Structure 1
Amino acid sequence: MPRSHWLDPLARKVLQATGQLPAKPTSTPPAAPPPAPAWTMDVNRASREEWRQLPGCPEDTADLLVRLQRGGVQFSAAADLFQLLELPDELRRLWEPHLIFRWHGDAPPQPAATPLDLNNASTEELHSLHWPEQRLQGLLRERRRAGFRDLADLQERLCLPASAVEALIGRVSFTARRSGPSLPLN
């Protein structure tokens, strides 16, 4: 490592400026952290208007999220929200800096690995929900009427408590019903 020059600092700068001494290497300053978003929102307390402020948030999505919130449903992480809404990566990147996930109440439930399709699952598969038999029969009865659109639809039609719906986030899905004998009739 080269030793620093013995000249006083002013003389050293003059010699460096004239090229008679090599310039002191400059270190690049550390990159500044990305700027904080102009606004944030607690997803578990957000109003319809706040949801609509997010880029590309359609009215029906804002309505769905507010309906779930009214039913007492909370999201514990961005992954839960994005999985429910099936958002494209571009919207995820735009939304995430604005979202704050504060859990209000007891600890959030832990999701399972593979979502269970509630509109097409067999009776045996539905037993993995560990629901009381009366609730399972209500699900089957409502499913025969029409497939469920989403968690809010399921909650409203079965009058589920928020804790039951929160336990389903990330554990269930809602695809179009298959017709034919594959659906159980009980």
Structure 2
Amino acid sequence: MARRHWLDPLARKVLQAMGDLPQDAGRTGKNNRYDQKPEVSPNWCIDVNRASAEQWRQLPGCSEIMVDQLLRLQQGGVQFSQMEDLAQLLDISEGLCEQWRPYLIFRWHGDAPQLPEQAPLNLNSASPTLLAKTLPWPDERVERLIAERRREPFQNLADLQERLCLPPATVEALIGRVRFGSRPAGPSLPPRG
């Protein structure tokens, strides 16, 4: 008689379903509920802050544009601490968030950031005064941001980081605190009087 594993039955079945333990002898029939695999079972998970392009592409609905943006931020040293940050950055629906959630692991590599406490600031349309007051940046960096957004609105955090040459810690501090809506219509400078 085959010797059974010492684990409780539920733990044993989970390990067997994952392939870490061999199936019990005598439990190989088609009608046996233990041999049936669940319809949706994540066989893999990805570390959001270390994922490769191939891993991102395996997620349903993850476009090449999303993959490119995520990899650019990762190369710039930016990390995510929660699903909400990722959803906001990629502008994905709640339904897609729920599809991705079982596959994503948010491991922070280094010191963890503080979560945002206020509504996101629109970097493409906020007044220079509001930018200077809200962003803890040197005046020169705020002026460079304003000059760059006049040339062309920022598309996302990766675009902002690349165009302003921001260090990863600065970009991480912006996650969940800023957004990138379009500029208001009309001239960017006040009319001369």
TM-score interval for Structure 1 and Structure 2 normalised by the shorter chain: 0.7 to 0.9
Distance in structure 1 (CA, Å) of the matches to 2:120 and 2:189: 18
Shift in Å, 1:84: 1.2
Q: Max radius of gyration: which structure?
A: 1
Give secondary structure in 2 for the equivalent of 1:140.
helix
Give the counterpart letter for 1:150 in structure 2. N
1:1-80 residue pairs with structure 2 within 5 A? Answer: 37-80=42-85
Q: Give unpaired runs (5+ residues) of structure 1.
A: 1-33
In structure 1, what is the equivalent of residue 152 of structure 2?
146
Residue pair 1:122, 1:183 contacting (<8 A) in 2 also: no
Q: 3-state DSSP class of the match of 2:126? A: coil
- Take 2:153 and 2:88, find their aligned partners in 1: how far apart are those partners? 19
Who is 1:132 aligned against?
138
Deviation at 1:180, TM superposition (A): 2.0
* Cα pair 1:155 1:165 within 8 Å, conserved: yes
The amino acid that maps onto 1:89 is E
Separation in 2, partners of 1:36, 1:77:
22
- Given candidates 104, 129, 152, the residue that maps to 2:109 is 104
In the aligned structure 1, how far is the partner of 2:84 from the partner of 2:93?
A: 12
The alignment yields a C-alpha RMSD, in angstroms, of 1.9
Cα drift, residue 183 of structure 1: 5.8
Counterpart of 2:172 in structure 1 is 166
- Aligned residue in 2 for 1:91: 96
Q: Is the 8 A contact 1:121 1:183 kept in 2?
A: no
* Deviation of 1:36 (Å): 5.5
For structure 2, the 5+ residue unaligned runs are: 1-38
Amino acid at match of 1:169: I
Post-superposition Cα deviations, 1:106-140, rounded to whole Å, max 9, x if no partner, equal 12232132000000000111021111111101101
Give the Å deviation of 1:164.
Answer: 0.4
Q: Does the Cα contact within 8 Å between 1:75 and 1:103 map onto a contact in 2?
A: yes
The whole-number CA distance in structure 2 between the counterparts of 1:56 and 1:35 is: 16
SS in 1 for 2:125: coil
The whole-number CA distance in structure 2 between the counterparts of 1:184 and 1:87 is 36
Deviates more, 1:104-113 or 1:77-86: 104-113
> In structure 2, the residue corresponding to 1:131 is in which secondary structure?
coil
Q: Is the 8 A contact 1:112 1:170 kept in 2?
A: no
Q: Percent identity?
A: 59
More deviation in 52-61 or 174-183?
174-183
Letter in 2 for 1:83: Q
Question: Is contact 1:43-1:101 (8 Å) kept?
Answer: yes
Match of 1:81 in 2: 86
Q: SS in structure 2 opposite 1:179?
A: coil
Q: Which amino acid aligns with 2:87?
A: F
